Amino acid sequence: MISPGKGFSGVSVFRLADGELKNRKDVVAVEEPLEIRIEYVVDGVLKRAPISITMRTPGEDFELAVGFLHGEGIIQDRGDVRQVSYCQGGEPQTYNIVLVKLASKVAFDPEVLARNFYTTSSCGVCGKASLEAIDLTGCEKIADIGLEVSSAVLKSLPGILREKQGLFERTGGIHAAGLFSQSGECISIQEDVGRHNAVDKVVGEAFLKSMIPLDRHILIVSGRTSFDIMQKALVARVSIVAAVGAPSSLAVDLAEKFGMTLLGFTRADGFNVYAGSRRIVG
């Protein structure tokens, strides 16, 4: 186990060069489990419950935990969280367990969680089989607030994201998510072996800074755009989601249904618009 904030680890490898295997030093992205627990009050009784285990790159664990809980609808605003900390008191994996203490006003019923909150670093296992399942969470369509973003700003985002990917530069094996303003100002860049974790870290950071809803912001991800990433963006009320890679069919369906703008194959020379072209100008 490594301490939080260090997302890479040194390894010894053999590299084939000029027909010969040669020993050399290298670094790889760290992947470790993170258990998210919550502390809540029911009828005046203080209780704790494990909510999720996710494989992640250590660093910004508090943001990851809060972002995940927000995406699942367990917390709505900054006032719902009293404290976030690593578990203490002799825990064998201190830095791999995060405890989120909910405010007493938060009504949490563990029986409502009928599915298993287990996710992997490769893809989020959200457990929602259809768009109708999102309707049950109370998510509404993203309001048309007159947001417009120039194509020049959108084309610049992948380059900025790549420049700020410190762990990718070291390891070549990590995803990133970035939050940008309408004018292209970089608000936050987060990295993780799981692209959905990187999104949770970005959203969690914004949540802890009381920035949500993010309806005047742009979220960009380094890889493809899947259903679960769009779901997290929707709950955070992100109007525009851009990706360096391709979207899935369900991601496109979600964007269309809930009035989001979705871009794919975003590059310096252009991009595809899969939904919500009205927000793009120039």
Positions annotated as catalytic residues are 123
Q: Which two tokens stand for residue 220?
A: 């960009």
Whole-number Å distance between alpha carbons of 276 and 261: 4
Could you tell me if 75 and 20 are in contact, meaning their C-beta atoms sit under 8 angstroms apart? no
Strand partners, 100: 38, 84
Residue 161 CA, distance from chain mean position: 15
Residue from 258, 231, 245, 222 nearest 29 by CA: 222
Residue 99 CA, distance from chain mean position: 18
The Cβ-side half-sphere exposure at 44, using a 13 Å CA radius, reads 0
Whole-number Å distance between alpha carbons of 134 and 132: 5
